[in-house]
Amino acid sequence: MNKIQVMSENLANKIAAGEVVERISSVVKELVENSIDAKAKCVEVDLIDAGTKEIKVSDDGIGMEHDDALLCFKRHATSKLLKEDDLFFINTLGFRGEALPSIASVSKIDLKTSQGSVGTHIVLQGGEIVIDEASDARVGTIISVVDLFYNTPARLKYLKSDTTELANVTSFIEKLSLSHPDISFSLTNNGKRVLFTSGSNDLLKTIHEIYGYSVSSNMIEISMSSDDYDIFGYICKPSILKSNRNHMTTLVNGRCVRNSEVNKAINDGYSTFKPDIKYPVVVINIETDPTLIDVNIHPTKQDIKFSKIDSLKEMLSEGVMSALKSTLLVPKIEVKVPDTYYNEIAMPEVHEEEEPYNALNEQTSLSFLEVVPEKEKSYEEVIKEVKESSQEREENSLIKKLELYSVGVVFGTYIVAQNDEGMYLIDQHAAQERINYEKVLHAFASEQIYTTTLLIPITIELSSSEYLKIKENIGVLEELGFKLEEFGINTFIVKEHPTWLRTGLETESTRKIFDIIIEGKYLFDRVKFHDHIAATMACKMSVKGNEAITLEQADTLLDDLVLCDNPYNCPHGRPTIITYTKYELERMFKRVMN
């Protein structure tokens, strides 16, 4: 008897299901993408118990005829690839012909579809057809997947909790809505609506419908083009950063993809605008010739390869950084006042047991990361704010003309300043860090290196391994402006150093630069290496918190800060300045009642 045999189609489908159908969201993905490929303009996803009991997807697409409805459950049957060359010009979300047979092999499926004449109703159980009959002629398709993994208990056992599965499905529908703002999506679980988008074909409105006012009103529009790529979309201001990458949505030719290099390039564009542990909210569309990408590298089709990735990364990083640098990013503090407050002011009712007014009981948002509006605003108001933000980008030279007058220092750390618009709080260490950081970077960019000769050389003693690393990279130190010589065993003496080292900290700063070179971080990327040196030195050179400065010093610091390329953040991404507008201050003290 032969040992090698051709496996049955049902067994092959179950094996394929292990790759294609990982969880509930995988099934939803495949079904909804089929609806989009069928030119649907309205897609409804209804779940029972987060999809563990039933997943139902209804669309108003073109539907299928009877023969196609039967054939779609055959493995490798597809309407999207007809010849080999089509593989290099993929414009649809699905194309492999594996999803439906894989899903059908591990569930019970009920399909109703029609192109407008006679409808088709097919029921499958474990991949086998049990009902094939005519049905109503509603144009479109309704497909239900019931009891997923009923015949593969090992897979069923490893499904997550209903809450986790629902969260995964919701996250996917959110990203799909952003990739197709012209399609209306609806998601319900046990009859309760979880998500809805209107299909307005307005990306900003879709962002508003998914993420709400606090995100949509803090988005910045970006647009750039090259011979190979057209990029457009929205990136967030640094005031609404998230703690994970889940809100970084990258779309390529309408397909939501995951690509670590692209995400890293976007993140690099936020360099010095945010802390390393925070991530932006972005929705970026990348349009390119299908021949420049390969989506056929994973069964889920969510990973992607680019032919010209370096030029794309450069475009993304520079485009994001340019948009941020040209936008007014001073976070405004807004005060949340209860809606009933003003009515109570107009018609006061005093009771004997009423407690006296305590201003501390009012809810106030003092965090630049979580600005709480007084009430949810309409999409029209959001559009107005985003357009005003775009206008600020064109007229952003105003930030260079901010006339701030220091009036005091709080806790020896925060400078209190004012102008006609409102009150400003400036972190003195973060602000001077930004000033010194840009000073060092400008020194690196200068064609001429200015150095100081030391009367008493600095002696740096190292271990044997450290000595060898410094000797190997001595040219790097000379490029920075250091002149050094070997002096005894495992020792160097520094005879000259660059002028940008802070007076009094020359020895400490030199040792720190030696440590950075020994660490070897970014040595092969001179731009990042210089940035790392500048950020480290800026921290060492700057006035610390709880270190008293005079008002004259504070005024000088403010004058230097507004002249920086990025006056909003220190090199490590912390904010340098926040503001209370005059209007918000008057609201806090009840001088205005609206």
DSSP string over 314-361: HHHHHHHHHHHHTS---PBP-B---TTHHHHHHS----TTPPPP-GGG
Q: What CATH number is attached to the domain comprising 214?
A: 3.30.230.10
Kindly state whether residue 498 falls inside one of the protein's structural domains. Answer: yes
How far is Cα 356 from Cα 422, in angstroms, rounded to an integer?
30
Q: Given a cut of 60, is residue 365 above it in pLDDT?
A: no
**The predicted structure's pLDDT at residue 376:** 52
Based on the domain organization, do 358 and 242 belong to the same domain? Answer: yes
CA angle 153, 155, 161 (to 5 degrees): 100
Q: Is residue 1 part of a domain?
A: no
Given 136, 158, 192, which residue is the final one in a domain? 192
* CA pair distance 174, 209, nearest whole angstrom: 10
Q: Is residue 481 part of a domain?
A: yes
Identify whether residues 237 and 137 lie together within a single domain. Answer: no
Instruction: Please identify which residue in the block is written with the tokens 């995951």.
Output: 258
pLDDT at 549 over 80: yes
Mean pLDDT of all residues in 514-523: 84
Residue 336 has pLDDT above 90, yes or no: no
Burial of residue 446 (number of CB atoms within 10 Å: 0-12, 13-18, 19+): exposed
Q: Which tokens belong to 543? A: 């006035």
Verify that 153 and 209 share a domain, yes or no.
no
What confidence score (pLDDT) does residue 526 get? 79
Give the residue carrying structure tokens 């201050």.
585
**For the chain, percent of residues with pLDDT exceeding 70:** 78
Decide if 262 is inside a domain. Answer: yes
Higher per-residue pLDDT: 30 or 526: 30
Co-location of 243 and 153 in the same domain? no
Residue 396 lies in a domain: no
What is the tens place of the pLDDT at every residue in 67-112? 888 888 876 555 544 444 444 444 555 444 467 888 888 889 999 9
Whether 13 and 155 share a structural domain: yes
The residue from 162, 192, 222 where one domain ends is 192
Residue 4 lies in a domain: no
pLDDT of residue 419: 85
Binned at pLDDT 50, 70 and 90, residue 585 comes out as confident
The answer, yes or no, to whether residue 368 has pLDDT greater than 60, is no
User: Same domain, yes or no, for 512 and 477?
Assistant: yes
pLDDT in tens, 317-335: 999 988 888 777 776 665 5
83 and 223 assigned to the same domain: no
Confidence at residue 212, expressed as pLDDT on a 0 to 100 scale: 87
Examine the pLDDT at 448 and tell me if it is beyond 90.
no
Q: What is the pLDDT of residue 415?
A: 92
What lies within 8 Å, CB to CB, of 560 at 6+ separation is 435
Q: What is the CATH number of the domain that holds 475?
A: 3.30.1540.20
Domain carrying residue 182: 9-192
Contact between 449 and 481 (Cβ < 8 Å): yes
**Residue 174 sits in the same domain as residue 227:** no
What Cα–Cα distance (Å) separates residue 286 from each residue in 309, 452, 472, 577? 12, 49, 42, 34
Same domain, 165 and 274: no
- If we measure between CA atoms, which residue out of 483, 499, 496 comes closest to residue 541? 499
Q: What is the mean pLDDT of the chain?
A: 80
pLDDT(379) > 90: no
- What is the C-alpha radius of gyration for the chain, rounded to an integer number of angstroms? 31
**CA separation for the pair 345, 351 (Å, rounded):** 14
Lowest mean pLDDT: which of 69-78, 450-459, 464-473? 69-78
Judge if 462 and 382 occupy the same domain.
Answer: no
Pick the residue with more confidence: 458 or 213?
458
Find the mean pLDDT for residues 260-274.
Answer: 88
Mark whether 185 and 210 lie in a shared domain: no
Mark whether 281 and 311 lie in a shared domain: yes
For 25, list phi and psi in degrees, rounded to 5.
Answer: -60, -30
pLDDT tens readout for residues 215-240: 888 899 999 999 889 999 999 998 88
Confidence check: pLDDT of 438 > 50? yes
The structural domain count of the chain equals: 3
Helix axes 526-541, 506-519, angle to 10 degrees: 150
- Domain of 69, CATH number, reads 3.30.565.10
Q: What is the reported pTM?
A: 0.69
Residue 393 lies in a domain: no
Across the range 367-382, mean pLDDT stands at 49
Q: Which of 388, 413, 435 corresponds to the end of one domain?
A: 388
With respect to residue 158, please indicate whether it lies within any of the assigned structural domains: yes
